[in-house]
Structure 1
């Protein structure tokens, strides 16, 4: 059995649409900031790599170019996930974002990590001669500023839903907005990659050893592989039907427990359909002897309370077996 999520559906729909639009606008701002940062950085890195022959700079250029393409994939996911529900997708297209975020993880793994490792190994066999590293450092410093700006935009977007006392990494694990945490993880890997590249170039110059540079390229590739696995784990869980977090689920159990028309509360099963779209299937037992209209009023009270305390829960279903004893 299912009903609308509140007794005033038109008002609720308007409020949900405004909240969802604001959240999607924030996510798109994060993506656009990342695109602007990565596009310019990639061009500069490749230009300097061509001048200096640095394998680490080539790896960094590949990294930034792949990240730029990935942001466009996330934008595609954002637009597809905003499509309204239809006959073929009655619960909407919210999981499209998770699908494209998973494609981004595969892209980071294969293109970013794979090519960086391959280029580093090839350079180890025939390391390029050492060149003046000045322009490498200039570009890496500029890249750190742009990547830092993009990282900070995604951090602020994540902080809007971050609870007090929760670390940034815990907020990433709890986030259901793939656009935001994907950009944050990518930018974190990019900043670490810049440190690795600069260290490899500096050590090569310090010890007059051309092998440090390609080793840095391989380390950047391994870093990207690790970031790809992290992204795949987070987005894969959401794609196959991840539940809301334990605290939210406990709050829902408490909400149902306050309803006097219920004898017991069985399972409350939830599924994340999108960043701000949750399905709830409730198995509850109503008090015996209740009239049908009393059950209807109890359901309406529950839905109103859910709408007020858990606005992301857009679809509420009551299992028919829970109503069987009432109908006897």
Structure 2
């Protein structure tokens, strides 16, 4: 996985979630809190998700084969989609079920000090992980808003880790709210409410991730800014009169396919056209380094001829 894949952020999140999962489960054993159990499952699911992202990044580096002539770069999109499914099925569905069950059959919180201590520890650890994800994302976000970055990023790992860490922090706050209200009021229903809130939150995040990664799986083109750079590079070649039409497709986060029909002068020889195409490809790669697969089809400039 390249640096833009957010490996550092993934590893930071994985380490934090493994430690937090153990702490939360210990707290559940001492308190019997459904919020703590839901958060334990949430952290286990997140740990599995980060392992899937690392696996996807590793498999995407395989060399192209006869069966897959464009390589395996889009495996990173597949594993990001699997993360969304795992987050929903394991995290959200379990938490919603547990919350409804606890509301229907509430129990008092035992040894609440354990729950408060673990939740505070978990918030600190998740905040560190979230800070790492934000720092890495800022290196690639540019002037985009956070919403635009999540929606337009062609590298799925950072948006996934960002949303997971945000969901983890909010989930911890919901768990703290549920446990605190259950201890203050002596009513275990609040613990169930906190658990239900965690489940709904995870479902929302999972749906957002599924929608965004589905779009990447289906195949997204380059951003308008990148397409403009490619068009400018093409039309700056002396032998290229204009771009008749162009299509782009991300074969992976760092690999772009460019296919274009270009207009050439009807007086140009075959050698001049071939030389012009070679120069145009060089200009594209200089302007957009991720444009690694380029197909240019020459055609007569009929508009100029008329």
Q: After TM superposition, is the score higher than 0.5?
A: yes
Q: Residue 303 of structure 1: CA displacement?
A: 1.4
Q: Residue 283 of structure 1: CA displacement?
A: 1.9
Aligned to 2:41: 62
Q: Distance in 1 between matches of 2:115 and 2:228?
A: 52
Check conservation: 2:88, 2:203, Cα contact below 8 A: yes
CA deviation profile, 1:298-322 (whole Å, cap 9, x unmatched) = 2122111111110111100113xx4
Select which of 87, 97, 106 maps to 1:127: 106
Check conservation: 1:158, 1:172, Cα contact below 8 A: no
Structural mapping, 1:186-201, within 5 Å = 186-201=164-179
Q: Distance in 2 between matches of 1:143 and 1:208?
A: 24
Aligned to 1:323: 299
Structural mapping, 1:15-54, within 5 Å = 21-24=2-5, 27-54=6-33
- Tell me, yes or no, if structure 1 residue 116 matches structure 2 residue 95: yes
Aligned to 2:223: 245
Q: Residue 22 of structure 1: CA displacement?
A: 4.0
- Tell me, yes or no, if structure 1 residue 223 matches structure 2 residue 201: yes
- Residues 310 and 304 (structure 1), Cα distance of their counterparts in 2 relative to 1, 3 Å cut: same
CA deviation profile, 1:227-250 (whole Å, cap 9, x unmatched) = 111111111111111111122112
Q: Residue 69 of structure 1: CA displacement?
A: 0.9
Select which of 289, 293, 299 maps to 1:311: 289
Q: Distance in 2 between matches of 1:67 and 1:22?
A: 21
Aligned to 2:125: 146
Q: Residue 58 of structure 1: CA displacement?
A: 0.9
Structural mapping, 1:287-306, within 5 Å = 287-306=265-284
Q: Distance in 2 between matches of 1:283 and 1:212?
A: 63
Q: Residue 191 of structure 1: CA displacement?
A: 0.6
CA deviation profile, 1:12-66 (whole Å, cap 9, x unmatched) = xxxxxxxx74445xx3222211111101101111110111111111111110000
Aligned to 2:252: 274
Aligned to 1:79: 58
CA deviation profile, 1:174-195 (whole Å, cap 9, x unmatched) = 2111122211111111011111
Q: Distance in 1 between matches of 2:253 and 2:136?
A: 13
Q: Residue 325 of structure 1: CA displacement?
A: 7.5
Aligned to 1:130, the other structure's residue is in SS state: coil
Structure having greater relative contact order (Cα 8 Å, sep ≥ 6) = 1
The list of structure 1 runs, each at least 4 consecutive aligned residues, that deviate by more than 6 angstroms after superposition, is none
Aligned to 1:173, the other structure's residue is in SS state: helix
Q: Residue 221 of structure 1: CA displacement?
A: 0.6
Select which of 214, 233, 236 maps to 1:255: 233
Instruction: Give the TM-score, by structure 2 length.
Output: 0.93
Aligned to 2:115: 136
Task: Give the gaps of 5 or more residues in structure 1.
Answer: 1-19
Aligned to 2:214, the other structure's residue is in SS state: helix
Aligned to 2:63, the other structure's residue is in SS state: coil
Q: Distance in 2 between matches of 1:288 and 1:231?
A: 50
